Structure 1
Amino acid sequence: TPELDYKHPQWCHSLKLSNGELTCSSPRGGNSRSSLATRCLLSCDRGYKLLGRSSVQCMANRRWSGTAHCRKVRCHVLPLVEHGTYSCNKGFVVDSRCDYTCFQGYQIEGDHYRVCREGGTWSGAEPTCADHEPPKLKCPLSRVKVAEPGKLTVTVSWDRPVATDTAERSLQLFRNGQESNSEFSEGEHVIRYKVYDQARNMASCKFTVRVEVKRCPVLKAPLHGYLSCSSDGNNYGAVCEYHCDAGYERSGVATRVCLLNRNWSDQASDCVMMEIKTDVRSAGALLDQFYEKRRLLIVSTPSVTDQYYKLQNIMIQTASCGLDLRHVTVIELLGTPPKEVGRIKGQYLEAEVIEGLRQALQISRSYFTMVLVDEMGLDRERFVNPTTSEELYSYIEEYLLTEEEQERLEVNRDLCD
């Protein structure tokens, strides 16, 4: 290890930086540039980029703490301009200027020249050489076609448009829409054509094809039900079948047909609440009526004066429409024997049925409680405090509704507003 000597004027080798500049400071002061502990700042001339350390120091091992060199900055090669060219006075180095010119018949649009900047990027943006006179294009006339009875489409054909250009250069013709001699569905179809010359000047035209189909008025789905229709739903010959939600029964014809006179056969059907028999002798017979059809919300209270029950009763009354949309029937078990009462929508249950429900679902008479039972008769959730309609709705939608029921709920959600 060499003996440290801060007074040695040439401790490290002389530092050089081609195409750059060194700014050094030494403990010796003055112009000493290579004595021990000398620190040099490195920078490059204009048009060059520093690669390596921007600051180095002469260390005890007689070596500099790092190296660097200056590399000439170059801009990327400019791409060729369509219908034009360019020339550069210094190639693609810093401060080089490249001037653009267009071929005969084209005019330059944008920057006329670009300069290679110190950061290695070009000033401005790439210009274009343009021919401003567009070609000429004429489309066929618009037309209306009527579909034959029992059909939803029409075959339509036309002659391909002809395009011309004063420059007599090759043209490119593009179509947006269906092609000629294809099947068009009901409604209005816009066919657009565009043509481009070599200079990318564009001309366009359009025409419409309207297809009409004989139709009956759109049928409305019954409340608490839905329709399944053949063909397109309401065109001539379409058949629509009425279906009812779980817990509802159809009243009226099963199907209706769209006739040639654009009217439907027969009258609309309705979906009415299924008849609940409360004069049964067992809880099983009662529950069987709801199996795979309805969900149950069983409310139990030791007394109708119970504050929890009073509050819950008010909330259930305001939520009755929403519960019905979610296929939920409310059963109330009120009081204690011998004055215990069980009821469904104003219909009263036998004492044996009340007792059977309590035993089957383990419902106590001692305190307020609510039990939510799914359509398979399974106990899914219990509430011992009053529950808002939003909480009930949220639980039912998240855990009990099928995907199809969710979709129908979204369609009919506004019915309860």
Structure 2
Amino acid sequence: MSIMLLQKILGCVWILFLLSLEIRGQCSKPVLSDNVVLVGTTFEEGSSKKLSCVPGYAPETGTAVVTCLGGKWNPNPQVFTCKKKSCGNPGDVPNGRYDMTGGIDFGSTITAICNEGYQLFGNAHRSCSVDGTWDGQEPRCEAVKCVPHPPIDNGRLESALMEHYDHDDVVLHVCNDDYTLFGKRETICKNGEWTEAPRCTKVQCQRLDIPDAKRVQGGSGPYGYKSTLMYECNKGFKMVSGEARIVCEENGWSSTPICKAVAIECPNPGSTNATITDGSGDPYKYGAILTYKCQAGHTLVGSTHLKCGSDGQWSSKPPTCQVDDNNLLKIILGIAGAGAGGALLFGVWYCRKKKRGKTEPHGTTAEAEEGVELKSAESSKQAEVVDPEPASGP
């Protein structure tokens, strides 16, 4: 056999081999969706493969079996998808609940929470396992009880004691005679503990001696809770600290009034035609007294004395001096010889008297006295007029 013939034979065999491979066919390794697995490493034409989900996941869409046909997988393996298994609702926790904010699918964890007044027994956390069930045992919530409340000092419970108290049970307290209750009267059982209890205190406030002040309201004691006193400072003193009204509280008086001397001054009273004879001189302090008087022949109108009060004001306005009517008449009669000038002065006197008469009752002693004096004056004047001149010598 020649070499040329051998080569031809081998070439034919090779072609037949290639033809056989083309007829049989083969698929490449399939591309799968997330969390999907395929068992096997060979993918011959016509072979079928089963797809499955990784642990904790379950089929969601597509067919789990694919077949290699004509070098392609049928149906498309990527159509088959998986999702996390759900463990479902874990159920209710009597007197409590589950916190499921993290979900209820594979890998999630839930937490049991008891209602107020209840205590958790068992494992509070449960996880969703690969088989789609919750692991662990279901926890339980049991009521927390309070032991009997101990009596408070100087007080007692309003009702009889019980062996135990449930959550939100209430007991009431009362104080003994002469004691005052401070705080809330009731205490409540909360999560096995009692809320803060009140206290009973005997309140007594001491009698106060406030310098430079006097008590204007309230008795002389004894002073119990909420007794009230009112003080005011003496004249010339001012309250610089504390309150005028004080109340007896749990820890004593609400405040202590303090009175201090203050420099009270009255303003300059001003000047009039009256003369200050005593007490003049600035400044005019509280209690200062001014004395006024008039010159002879004048009458003082107003108060003779002015006193500087605790409010910084004078007791009255300064007085004035007014010429006496009788004195004015004498002056007029004394210069009657002046003729028209005397008549004018007499007219002034008469008008003054008439004006004054409007403010005095008719027929008063003052008016009668003025009439007598006027009559006397007129008689004297007449005597002077008719008095004969001295006789001339021989």
Task: Output the TM-score relative to the length of structure 1.
Answer: 0.26
Q: Which has the higher helix share?
A: 2
Q: Specify which structure has the bigger relative contact order, considering alpha-carbon pairs within 8 angstroms and separated by 6 or more residues.
A: 1
TM-score in terms of structure 2 length: 0.27
